[in-house]
């Protein structure tokens, strides 16, 4: 006897395939959601870690900026103290200079020359006075140039003037004080000789 299946088996197969498709689609969606969640979590953790690292670096940079500012302040203080020390050393080395200058001038001014004014500006001295003749002024300049203290005498002018009813030369000249260069206290060259002494 022949059996005939009258059930719509094609419709059933189609329904099963559709159900399998929806099931597979759900699994894929679930897997995609899980992957997205895991990726989002990992990326979020990495971002948090990087932000924490950035915050740490910012704090350390702020600390370093403060330390750099403190170092600059200390360097400025050190430079100021070194400048003061140099000024004090210069004053110490030149404190007896006025006495030596006046003493040496007394030795080098020839007879017939009278100094009426001495002005000092740094290492430069202006001498103004009277001389019985131009030759006396020339002698004064030669004496100053040969002196171990003075150098570079420079005559500005000499003119005729009357002094106590006598005709004299009114002169104005400049001369420089020869100073030894100021050396640091710990330098081996400290206490060196002047140029003229070396000659």
| pLDDT tens profile 72-120 | 999 999 999 999 888 887 766 666 677 777 777 777 778 888 788 888 7
Q: Which residues contact residue 141 at a Cβ distance below 8 angstroms, ignoring those fewer than 6 apart? A: 153, 155, 173
The band of 43, judged by pLDDT with boundaries at 50, 70 and 90, is very high
Query: What's the rounded mean pLDDT across residues 31-45?
Result: 91
Using an 8 Å Cβ cutoff, are 140 and 154 in contact? Answer: no
Q: Which two tokens stand for residue 77?
A: 């203080």
- Res. 189: pLDDT tops 90: no
Q: What share of the chain is helix, strand, coil (3-state, %, to 5)?
A: 60, 20, 20
pLDDT in tens, 49-67: 999 999 999 999 999 999 9
Whole-prediction pTM: 0.43
Instruction: Calculate the average pLDDT of the chain.
Output: 79
Which pLDDT does position 181 carry in this prediction? 56
More confident call, 5 vs 137: 137
- Strand segments, DSSP code E, in the chain are 113-121, 124-131, 150-163, 166-177
**Dist. CA 188–CA 191, nearest whole Å:** 8
- Res. 193: pLDDT tops 50: no
Task: Provide the edge-to-edge strand list for the sheet that holds 166-177.
Answer: 113-121, 124-131, 166-177, 150-163
Least confident of 31-35, 72-76, 145-149: 145-149
Query: What's the rounded mean pLDDT across residues 6-21?
Result: 78
- Res. 12: pLDDT tops 50: yes
**Dist. CA 37–CA 29, nearest whole Å:** 12
């Amino acid at each position: 006897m022949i059996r005939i299946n009258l059930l719509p088996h094609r419709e059933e197969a189609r329904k099963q395939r559709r159900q399998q498709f929806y099931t597979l689609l759900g699994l894929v969606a679930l897997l995609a959601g899980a992957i997205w969640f895991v990726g989002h979590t990992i990326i979020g953790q990495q971002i948090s870690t990087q932000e924490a690292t950035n915050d740490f670096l910012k704090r350390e940079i702020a600390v370093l900026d403060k330390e750099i500012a403190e170092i600059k302040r200390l360097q400025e203080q050190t430079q100021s103290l070194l400048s003061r020390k140099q000024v004090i050393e210069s004053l110490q080395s030149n404190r007896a200079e006025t006495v030596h200058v006046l003493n040496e001038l007394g030795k080098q001014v020839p007879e017939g020359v009278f100094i009426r004014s001495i002005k000092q500006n740094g290492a430069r001295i202006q001498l103004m006075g009277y001389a019985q003749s131009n030759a006396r002024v020339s002698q004064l300049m030669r004496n100053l140039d040969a002196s171990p203290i003075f150098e570079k005498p420079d005559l500005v002018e000499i003119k005729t003037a009357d002094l106590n009813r006598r005709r004299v030369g009114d002169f104005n000249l400049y001369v420089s004080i020869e100073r030894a260069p100021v050396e640091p206290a710990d330098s081996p060259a400290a206490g060196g000789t002047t140029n003229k002494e070396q000659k």
